[in-house]
């Protein structure tokens, strides 16, 4: 035997299994519902013996519940409960697999998570204030989880290639210059505003804000390097043209003295920058020069081979060869 309890506001349905339709069993089932949802203001029931007993009336009076009984032989007076009984019977008939309790709970879950025609909202959302997760939700794409997963993959891909860079206040650095002068200029880090944003002070006193990607550390050994081309990544020492530590002018003088001593102080042609037309003419001249040399060497080789071949030829063959050369005899 089943006791059907339905909320008139949210259309929430609860079903209690009873072994007997006594007043005591009915009161115990209603107390279980009261423990979950609280004491109701009104209870509407039919004229069953379990509802018309003195024990049930005493229970309602002690809890401040107004008990209303429907008209005899008129089920439409309690139409909401009767409609729930009809829906419950149809659902249980369609269930084929499982025990009676499993079938009953599946029918209740399907009903509670289906939008009601009167309210337009599921009974679970209207009563609980949230949408319970069902097996249907597992088939739908979870946008929030997809975004978190993609962001995690992007972070992992970025961390694999990114370098761990950290800067402190009062640290000398190079900052990116977006003006028309040199690309990197010297500055000093003053303050960190965010996880990757810093405030830097330039040499002329200006205060600029730069991202970590536009800041590079500056070392003391780079003080003599020009600002236009040097970066912290170019940690190459300054190399002169002469010996280590010699200035460029002294190295040139030393090289000139060496040429004079060895007799190689001849004037060397200065390699001027040639235009495109001059380069093209030079290439064509070299091409024709190599072609003429190739033709000359080919003719010489043919003549030598013919001279060698005539010594071993017979008289008739020699006459034919001379005719081909243009010397008929």
What would you report as the CA-atom Rg of the chain, rounded to the nearest whole angstrom?
51
Structure tokens at 70: 């429907």
Contacts 24+ apart (CB under 8 A), 104-110: 104/15, 104/17, 108/13, 108/14, 108/15, 109/134
pTM (predicted TM-score): 0.45
Q: State how far the alpha carbon of 326 is from the alpha carbons of 299, 305, 313, 319, 322, in Å.
A: 17, 18, 18, 11, 6
Euclidean distance between CA atoms 160 and 203, whole angstroms: 35
pLDDT of residue 195: 83
Burial class (CB in 10 A: 0-12, 13-18, 19+), 83: middle
pLDDT of residue 287: 80
Among 7, 24, 4, residue whose Cα is nearest residue 16: 4
* pLDDT(318) > 90: no
pLDDT of residue 31: 94
pLDDT in tens, 182-199: 889 999 999 888 888 999
Going by DSSP bridges, is the β-strand pair 42-45/66-69 parallel, antiparallel, or unpaired?
parallel
Between 166 and 221, the higher pLDDT residue: 166
DSSP state of 179: S
* pLDDT(55) > 90: yes
pLDDT in tens, 251-297: 556 555 555 555 444 444 545 566 777 888 888 888 878 788 888 78
* pLDDT(149) > 70: yes
pLDDT of residue 77: 87
Q: Which domains does the chain have, with CATH numbers?
A: 2-132 (3.30.420.10), 172-222 (2.30.30)
pLDDT of residue 307: 59
160: pLDDT confidence band, cut at 50, 70 and 90? Answer: confident
Between 300 and 249, the higher pLDDT residue: 300
Least confident of 67-81, 167-181, 306-320: 306-320
* pLDDT(62) > 90: yes
Query: What's phi and psi for 113, nearest 5 deg?
Result: -105, 20
Between 21 and 306, the higher pLDDT residue: 21
What's the mean per-residue pLDDT of the chain?
79
Between 118 and 292, the higher pLDDT residue: 118
């Amino acid at each position: 035997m089943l006791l059907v309890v339905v909320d008139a506001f949210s259309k929430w349905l609860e079903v209690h299994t009873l072994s007997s339709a006594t007043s005591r069993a009915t009161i115990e089932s209603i107390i279980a519902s009261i423990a979950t949802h609280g004491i109701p203001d009104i209870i509407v029931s039919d004229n069953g013996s379990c509802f018309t007993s003195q024990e049930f009336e005493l229970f309602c009076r002690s809890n401040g519940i107004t008990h209303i009984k429907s008209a005899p032989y008129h089920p439409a007076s309690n139409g909401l409960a009767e409609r729930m009984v009809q829906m419950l019977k149809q659902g249980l008939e369609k269930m084929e697999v499982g025990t009676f309790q499993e079938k009953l709970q599946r029918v209740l879950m399907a009903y509670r998570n289906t939008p009601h025609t009167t309210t337009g909202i599921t009974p679970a959302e209207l009563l609980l204030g949230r949408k319970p997760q069902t097996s249907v939700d597992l088939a739908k794409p979870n946008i929030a989880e997809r975004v978190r997963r993609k962001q995690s993959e992007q972070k992992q891909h970025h961390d694999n290639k990114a370098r761990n860079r950290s800067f402190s206040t009062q640290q000398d650095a190079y900052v990116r210059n977006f003006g028309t002068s040199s690309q990197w200029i010297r500055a000093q880090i003053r303050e960190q505003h965010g996880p990757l944003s810093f405030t830097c002070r330039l040499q002329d006193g200006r205060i600029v804000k730069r991202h970590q990607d536009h800041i590079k550390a500056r070392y003391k050994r780079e003080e003599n390097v020009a600002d236009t081309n040097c970066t912290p990544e170019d940690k190459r020492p300054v190399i002169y043209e002469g010996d280590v530590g010699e200035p460029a002018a002294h190295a040139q003088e030393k090289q000139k003295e060496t040429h004079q001593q060895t007799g190689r102080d001849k004037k060397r042609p200065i390699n001027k920058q040639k235009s495109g037309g001059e380069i093209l003419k030079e290439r064509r001249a070299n091409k024709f020069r190599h072609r003429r040399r190739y033709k000359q060497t080919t003719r010489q080789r043919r003549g030598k081979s013919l001279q060698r071949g005539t010594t071993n030829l017979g008289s008739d063959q020699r006459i034919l060869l001379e005719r081909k050369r243009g010397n008929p005899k």
